[in-house]
Amino acid sequence: MPMAADDFDFVRGSGLIDELHSRGKVIGEEIVDAALLGEHAADAHYVLEHPRLPFVSYPYEWSFSALKAAALLHLDIQQAALKKGVTMTDATAYNIQFIGPRPVFIDSLSFRRYQEGEYWAGHRQFCEQFINPLLLRSFNGIPHNAWYRGELEGISAENLSRLLPWRSRLSWNVLTNVFMQARLQNNSGSDDAIRKAKTRKLPRIGFEQILHGLRKWITRLEPGHDGKTVWQDYATDNSYADDEAVNKRRFIAEFSSAVKPALILDIGCNTGDYSIAALENGAELAVGFDFDHGALEYGYRRAVSDGLNFQPLHLDAANPSPNQGWMQAERMGFRERANADAVMGLALIHHLAIAKNLPLAGVIEWLVDMAPHGVLEFVPKNDAMVQRLLQMREDLFSDYDQANFEEQLNSRARIVKSEVVSASGRVLYWFDRH
């Protein structure tokens, strides 16, 4: 029997996967007939089927709290595994996906039989892919996203140790997991050090203590330089009360109850107000995208605390996640993944067309391509927000007007309904793509 199949049988026999699945921590799996895959499965001992994930996202798109939730999930699983004599072969953040705000572990082959005395194979990877990106935000106030997207494997202890403020050394956990690990890694390249390291053993109690200590520490980590007061500002800034917000919510509610999208994308979601309006009226899952890290953080916390099926992700619409990794096919770009039942682009297009100098026709095409149904908002030039965008610059946007907006939308879709939602003349368009 191949080693992987042997481990697979041992792990399933331990009851670990059933237990974790029943608690929603790992994705469901079912052994199916190998013939389903034909010659692709000629040598396979088992063929597994998993439920399809509604949307695939990557750690460089997650907010701080989402990455933290994924880190805690990984530790929970490793702790539960150890109790059953199982360990994990790696600790990559890409093995975790989100369903709404809830992280779920997706790699069935990451589990194998634990051998007494063995080390935590994934420790360094766990540091690079979870802890170090969290520390960058927590101590330096820098969101992990851009660095993580560039360096797909996360942030090394060596690099982070050069950046963290001196006071971070006062934390025993930072001192050991970052500074000491970086130093040991640098000093340990000799054959002798490698030989010695290979012959050491880690007692199980030590392994358990390391996991427990990390769990306790990570639970306490918070994003730096934008403490809790900022989240409260987001909550109060986004008043539900004004007429414009009420009109928009009503429009989205009507759209959502007619289309009933299994997945709706909310491009420029801010803290998720309109995703919530869609979810309350027939949408099953809303995946939101925004540029503002504070808004994403608030949106994620809100989704967790209110039990909303909403996942906010980081996106710079002018520079979305590309195809990357091995053969540029390992991690899919935003465009490849942005196929949904519905899309919303509210208070968004003027930012792209005016602040980012993108052609209006291109912006509309980009949004309409994402889904067969959607709602887009046109914000006229006399609106205070557009005036603010134009305040410090020349108005080069002679084609930015309602007539051109409608013409561009009409060439790609049928306008089902439109409604003026503000005194300044903002208009919502409900469209069905041609």
Partner 1 sequence: MLGAQTVRVFLVVLGCTVLAAPSHAYLDPGTGSIILQSILAGIAVAMGILRFYWYRLKAFFSGTTLESEAADSKDSEIQNDI
| Binding site residues, partner 1, CB under 8 A | 3, 89-90, 115, 117-125, 127, 157, 169, 172-173, 175-177, 179-189, 193-194, 197-203, 205-207, 209-210, 212-213, 216-217
Instruction: Retrieve residue 392's tokens.
Output: 């410090």
Q: 312 has which bridge partners?
A: 288
For residues 350, 298, 227 and 76, what is the CA-based torsion angle, rounded to 10 degrees? -140
Nearer to partner 1, 19 or 90 (CB): 90
Shortest distance in whole angstroms from residue 112 CB to partner 1: 8
- For the CB of residue 172, give the shortest distance to partner 1 in the complex, in Å: 7
With respect to partner 1, which residue has the nearer C-beta, 10 or 291?
Answer: 10
In this structure, what token pair is assigned to residue 282? 């027939």
Spatial distance between the Cα atoms of 109 and 3, rounded to a whole number of angstroms: 11
In the 8-state DSSP scheme, what is residue 242?
Answer: S
Quote helix, strand, coil % in the chain, to nearest 5. Answer: 50, 15, 35
- Least distance CB 199 / partner 1 (angstroms): 5
Minimum distance of partner 1 from residue 120's CB (angstroms)? 6
Q: Which is nearer to partner 1, 13 or 203 (CB)?
A: 203
Q: Which is nearer to partner 1, 30 or 116 (CB)?
A: 116
Annotate 152-179 with DSSP letters as a single string.
TT---HHHHHTTS-GGGGGSHHHIIIII
User: Which residue's CB is nearer to partner 1, number 186 or number 357?
Assistant: 186
Q: Which of 6, 33, 28, 22 is nearest to 111 (CA)?
A: 6
Please give the Cα distance from 133 to 1 (Å, whole number).
40
| C-alpha to C-alpha distance for 331 and 58, rounded to whole angstroms | 8
Token pair 């330089």 is found at: 225
Min. distance of Cβ 60 from partner 1 in angstroms?
A: 20
Least Å distance, CB 68 to partner 1, is 18
Q: How far is the CB of 189 from partner 1 (least distance, A)?
A: 7
Q: Which residue, 186 or 257, is less far from partner 1 as judged by CB?
A: 186
Among residues 309, 254, 190, 211, which one has the least CA distance to residue 421?
254
* Residue with Cβ nearer partner 1 (2 or 28): 2
Least distance from C-beta 177 to partner 1, angstroms?
7
**Smallest distance, partner 1 to C-beta of residue 174, A:** 12
| 3 state DSSP class of 74 | helix
In 3D space, the residue among 165, 163, 147 whose CA is nearest the CA of residue 155 turns out to be 147
Tokens at residue 174, please?
Answer: 């930072």
Buried b (16+ CB within 10 A) or exposed e, 200-239: eeeeeeebeebbeebbeebeebebbebeeeebeebeeeee
Rank residues 134 and 174 by Cβ distance to partner 1 and give the closer one. 174
Q: Give the nearer residue to partner 1 in terms of CB position, either 178 or 344.
A: 178
Q: Which amino acid is at 302?
A: R
